Amino acid sequence: MIDVVVLSGLAGAALLGLVSLAVLTASGARRRGRSVPRAVLAGLFFPLTWIAWHVADRDRYQTSPSR
């Protein structure tokens, strides 16, 4: 019986973490100027959104190597 309680607690914590990341990503997309529906989609697909933001920001702020 305890095993079921522990497993459900762990599953709930994992789900809460995923939902938190999705909400924070949607909030960040909204701050970046996306419409509400696009921000919600960004939140749902947050790993892909993070990759896209990383590539865009890296290209934007990349400097030439110093020699």
Averages of pLDDT over runs of 10 residues in the chain (67 residues) are 86 94 93 92 92 85 64
Nearest Cα to Cα of residue 48 among 28, 25, 23: 25
Instruction: Give CA–CA dist 53/48, Å, rounded.
Output: 9
Q: Are 38 and 29 in contact (CB under 8 A)?
A: yes
Name the DSSP letter for residue 33: T
Tokens linked to 23: 């909400």
Name the pTM for this structure.
0.70
Query: Residue 67 has what pLDDT?
Result: 56
- pLDDT value at residue 56: 86
